[in-house]
């Protein structure tokens, strides 16, 4: 039965090929086309295996070549430990305190080792600025530009010209002096950069050990440099402490002389004032003195309390600055409110664990529980902030109390009797003298300690393992490069194959035809690769009636007859989108099969621009279609007969200047009516649809149009454009057939159609 196409007005035949039974063409069940088909995926990879193979070969060969080109390098490693222990030969505090080896300090020491100053010190010590391995301007065939990358990159980029490297930012033009020679600063900078690229300093796990690794083309040199970096770092740490100790000793010596003079002056001032005021030290105290002493003691207690509160507040502020929790603060731990809130939090956590067993994360009860937890955390945070504010208020109160006591002390001193003023002044002078004396004694003791300490200063770091020359190179060899290249190329080739498959819109299956073109698929016509010399497909059809090719033509002929059961088509137009799609070969084979089936068959060659029937059947026509339409010969003279195939044919001898006018003429219509009376089956071979309009005119005279699609070559967009021409003239499209199918290749792809089983049923066919 024929069904009208509601989109274009043409008609298509309805049949089951390609789509599940019960579904119209182009309408698949949900998930039928969108599901990932593993067989199709493997088929796509098999189709593109040459792309994958060449990608693997080229990339692997390139990787192996790079591996052979790279100079092997060796890495030596020395270990330095930042010692957390402190040796106490004497119980003397160091001038420069040793480092506390926490994570931040270890990271800082790593940066110190990697610093430019330390690198230059090592290079100067080992005279590496004159080494061509590090100074690129000392090498043979040196470049006139400075590469921004050293090591392996220098070898990989070495084939690029200097202007390209500078333009892409991979290199910078070096500075030159007035004499045209490279600047020493530039050469030194390049050497430092090369050295830094080969130096690697890391922390060994979470220990206090720092690993210093250096890579060089010479294993002996790599070990020597790694050891030099480690030893000079340890030495620099010791020198830093010695220098600081010497500077402190010098400063203490100068300061001691000044303090000694101050002590002498202060003691003289005490004795002079006592003599002038006539004061004698009896050891007794007055009431005001007692009050003054009590007030001083109270002031000392208040100041101590203030210091304690300020220390506690300072601790909290430090925790805040570090972003750490305040839960460890004593006031927070002892707060009954916090304790109560933590108990509530524990209950909520228990409820959460129970609810998770029965409900999902988005259950309303879980959401309410999460909201309660958030509110509880907010209350805890607010209570902690309140405690912090309370501590801040306590500090302010303590400061106010100290200030108040100090004011009281000043007032009490002012109201003391006149005779005691002199005593106060005397005591003030005594305190100043005592303070100067104590300060002098402290500086004197520290000076002696520092002077003795200079001889026993040790570094906080020490070398725990010296680097040994490595036996094996640390750079990957050609085999590893090839393995990496092979792995990467496999992925790249697979992605490239899938990309090409995605971009390839060539039609290969009946399902694709029915989905993309919305017309029935009448099957596949195999490609004949083993024809004898001068053997045409239609002759092969006669000689091998049980072959797969003959079976495909038989199936196509049957499908045409069943495309309209009530009124089987008598005139069939065979056309295609473009030339070289096998339509002429198919038309001749279809006519041959019909003639061999005892039907009066006519093969008409209406491709007036490029006639192919005479060449296909192997004859030279004396007259043909154009001569008959022009009235030059009768129809009997224009129609020939082929004894081998049993078909009659109407060829084209000469081309016409107006083919479209001839095909649309009234005489053409009369010819078709006469031929319908004479023959049971008429096959028309016409021109391709795209580029010329001849087939559109002929399609209106045919009962059915058989649309030829070349397997794997014709893409869906081209076929749709060609079909649009037929639908514009409301042609009756019987269906499409795939021609020139590589059966073996098609079967390997596993499309699931009849072509897949040609190989399995080979014993049923005669080749």
613 and 693 share one domain: yes
Q: Give the H/E segment covering residue 522.
A: strand 521-526
532 and 498 share one domain: no
631 within some domain: yes
Question: In this model, does residue 516 exceed pLDDT 80?
Answer: yes
59-68, 144-153, 658-667: which has the highest mean pLDDT? Answer: 658-667
Q: Which position has the higher pLDDT, 328 or 104?
A: 104
Percent of the chain with pLDDT over 70: 72
- The total number of structural domains in the chain stands at 2
526 and 490 share one domain: no
669 and 744 share one domain: yes
The whole-angstrom distance between residue 563's C-alpha and the CA centroid of its chain comes to 54
The DSSP output letter for 385 is: H
pLDDT band at 756 (very low <50, low <70, confident <90, very high): low
Beta bridge partners of 480: none
Q: What is the mean pLDDT of residues 220-237?
A: 88
Euclidean distance between CA atoms 698 and 664, whole angstroms: 8
549 and 637 share one domain: yes
743 and 676 share one domain: yes
pLDDT of residue 458: 65
| 151 closest CA partner among 103, 122, 194 | 194
Euclidean distance between CA atoms 259 and 266, whole angstroms: 10
Euclidean distance between CA atoms 159 and 144, whole angstroms: 14
| 516 closest CA partner among 18, 16, 15 | 18
DSSP states along 284-308? ---HHHHHHHHHHHHHHHHHHHHHH
24 within some domain: no
738 within some domain: yes
Question: In this model, does residue 621 exceed pLDDT 50?
Answer: yes
pLDDT of residue 149: 54
260 within some domain: no
564 and 652 share one domain: yes
pLDDT band at 531 (very low <50, low <70, confident <90, very high): confident
620 and 684 share one domain: yes
Question: In this model, does residue 515 exceed pLDDT 80?
Answer: yes
Per residue in 687-744, pLDDT (tens digit) is 898 888 888 889 989 999 999 999 888 888 888 999 998 999 899 999 999 898 887 7
pLDDT of residue 179: 45
CATH number assigned to the domain comprising residue 564:
3.40.50.300
Q: Which residue has the tokens 């990271």?
A: 107
Q: Which position has the higher pLDDT, 758 or 521?
A: 521
pLDDT of residue 372: 72
| 427 closest CA partner among 251, 573, 269, 554 | 269
pLDDT band at 326 (very low <50, low <70, confident <90, very high): low
SS3 77: strand
pLDDT of residue 461: 79
Q: Give the H/E segment covering residue 572.
A: strand 571-576
pLDDT band at 679 (very low <50, low <70, confident <90, very high): very high
Q: What are phi and psi of 526, to 5 degrees?
A: -65, 155
pLDDT band at 172 (very low <50, low <70, confident <90, very high): low
597 and 676 share one domain: yes
Euclidean distance between CA atoms 264 and 284, whole angstroms: 27
10 within some domain: no
Question: In this model, does residue 33 exceed pLDDT 50?
Answer: no
681 within some domain: yes
Q: Which position has the higher pLDDT, 429 or 578?
A: 578
656 and 725 share one domain: yes
489 and 585 share one domain: no
Q: What is the mean pLDDT of residues 236-242?
A: 79
Query: Which domain covers residue 749, as residue numbers?
Result: 514-764
Percent of the chain with pLDDT over 90: 8
pLDDT band at 602 (very low <50, low <70, confident <90, very high): very high
Work out whether strand 601-605 and strand 681-685 pair parallel, antiparallel, or are unpaired.
Answer: parallel
Question: In this model, does residue 216 exceed pLDDT 90?
Answer: no
Name the token pair of 181: 């020679």
pLDDT band at 678 (very low <50, low <70, confident <90, very high): very high
pLDDT band at 5 (very low <50, low <70, confident <90, very high): very low
Work out whether strand 732-741 and strand 648-650 pair parallel, antiparallel, or are unpaired.
Answer: unpaired
Neighbours of 318 (CB within 10 A): 10
Per residue in 124-167, pLDDT (tens digit) is 888 888 887 777 667 654 445 555 555 555 555 555 565 656 56
Q: What is the mean pLDDT of residues 602-609?
A: 90
210 within some domain: no
Q: Which position has the higher pLDDT, 691 or 450?
A: 691
495 within some domain: yes
554 and 650 share one domain: yes
SS3 552: helix
Average pLDDT, the chain: 76
């Amino acid at each position: 039965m024929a069904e009208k196409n509601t989109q274009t007005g043409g008609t298509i035949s309805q049949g089951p090929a390609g789509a599940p039974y019960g579904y119209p063409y182009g309408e698949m069940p949900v998930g039928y086309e969108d599901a990932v088909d593993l067989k199709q995926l493997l088929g796509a990879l098999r189709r593109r295996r040459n792309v994958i193979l060449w990608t693997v070969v080229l990339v692997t060969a390139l990787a192996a070549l790079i591996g052979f080109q790279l100079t092997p390098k060796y890495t030596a490693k020395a270990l330095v430990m930042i010692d957390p222990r402190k040796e106490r030969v004497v119980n003397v505090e160091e001038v420069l305190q040793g480092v506390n080896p926490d994570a931040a300090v270890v990271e800082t020491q790593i940066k110190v080792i990697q610093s430019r100053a330390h690198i230059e010190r090592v290079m100067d010590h080992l005279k590496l600025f004159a080494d061509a391995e590090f100074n690129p301007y000392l090498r043979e065939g040196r470049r006139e530009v400075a590469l921004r990358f050293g090591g392996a990159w220098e070898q990989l980029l070495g084939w690029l010209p200097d202007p390209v490297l500078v333009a892409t930012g991979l290199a910078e033009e070096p500075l030159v002096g007035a004499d045209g020679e490279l600047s020493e600063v530039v050469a030194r900078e390049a050497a430092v950069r090369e050295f830094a690229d080969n130096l690697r300093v890391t922390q060994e796990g979470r220990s206090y050990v720092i690993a210093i690794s250096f890579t060089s083309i010479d294993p002996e040199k790599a070990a020597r440099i790694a050891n030099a970096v480690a030893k000079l770092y340890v030495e620099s740490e010791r020198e830093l402490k010695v220098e600081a100790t010497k500077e402190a000793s010098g400063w203490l010596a100068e300061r001691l002389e000044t303090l000694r003079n101050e002590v002498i002056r202060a003691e003289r001032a005490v004795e002079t004032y006592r003599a002038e005021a006539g004061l004698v030290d009896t050891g007794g105290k007055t009431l005001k003195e007692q009050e003054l002493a009590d007030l001083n003691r109270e002031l000392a207690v208040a100041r101590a309390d203030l210091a304690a509160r300020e220390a506690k507040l300072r601790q909290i502020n430090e925790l805040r600055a570090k972003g750490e929790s305040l839960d460890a603060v004593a006031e927070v731990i002892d707060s009954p409110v916090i304790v109560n809130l933590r108990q509530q939090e524990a209950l909520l956590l228990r409820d959460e664990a129970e609810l998770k067993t029965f409900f999902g994360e988005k259950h309303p009860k879980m959401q309410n529980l999460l909201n309660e937890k958030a509110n509880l955390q907010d209350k805890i945070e607010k209570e902690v902030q309140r405690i912090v504010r309370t501590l801040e208020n306590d500090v302010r109160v303590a400061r106010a109390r100290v200030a108040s006591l100090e004011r009281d002390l000043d007032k009490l001193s002012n109201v003391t009797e006149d005779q005691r003023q002199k005593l106060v002044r005397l005591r003030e002078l005594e305190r100043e003298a005592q303070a100067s004396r104590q300060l002098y004694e402290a500086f004197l003791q520290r000076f002696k300690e520092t002077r003795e300490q200079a001889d026993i200063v040790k570094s906080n770091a020490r070398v725990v393992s010296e680097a040994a020359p490595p036996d094996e190179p640390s750079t990957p060899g050609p085999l590893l490069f090839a393995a990496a290249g092979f792995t990467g190329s496999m992925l790249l080739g697979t992605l490239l194959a899938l990309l090409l498959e995605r971009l390839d819109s060539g039609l290969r299956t009946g399902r694709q035809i029915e989905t993309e073109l919305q017309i029935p698929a009448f099957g596949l016509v195999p490609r004949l690769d083993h024809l004898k010399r001068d053997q045409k497909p239609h002759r092969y059809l006669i000689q091998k009636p049980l072959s797969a090719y003959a079976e495909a033509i038989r199936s196509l002929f049957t499908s045409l007859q069943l495309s309209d059961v009530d009124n089987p088509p008598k005139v069939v137009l065979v056309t295609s989108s473009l030339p070289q799609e096998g339509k002429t070969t198919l038309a001749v084979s279809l006519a041959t099969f019909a003639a061999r089936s005892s039907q009066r068959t006519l093969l008409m060659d209406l491709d007036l621009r490029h006639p192919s029937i005479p060449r296909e059947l192997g004859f030279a026509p004396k007259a043909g279609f154009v001569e008959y339409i022009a009235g030059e010969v009768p129809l009997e003279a224009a129609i020939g007969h082929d004894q081998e195939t049993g078909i009659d044919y109407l060829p084209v001898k000469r081309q016409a200047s107006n083919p479209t006018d001839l095909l649309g003429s009234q005489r053409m219509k009369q010819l078709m009516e006469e031929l319908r009376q004479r023959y049971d089956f008429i096959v028309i071979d016409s021109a391709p649809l795209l580029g010329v309009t001849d087939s559109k005119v002929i399609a209106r005279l045919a009962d059915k149009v058989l649309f030829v699609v070349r397997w794997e070559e014709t893409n869906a967009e081209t076929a749709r454009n060609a079909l649009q021409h037929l639908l514009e003239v409301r042609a009756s499209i019987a269906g499409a057939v795939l021609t020139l199918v590589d059966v073996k290749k098609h079967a390997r792809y596993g499309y699931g159609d009849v072509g897949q089983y040609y190989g399995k049923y080979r014993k049923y066919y005669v080749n």
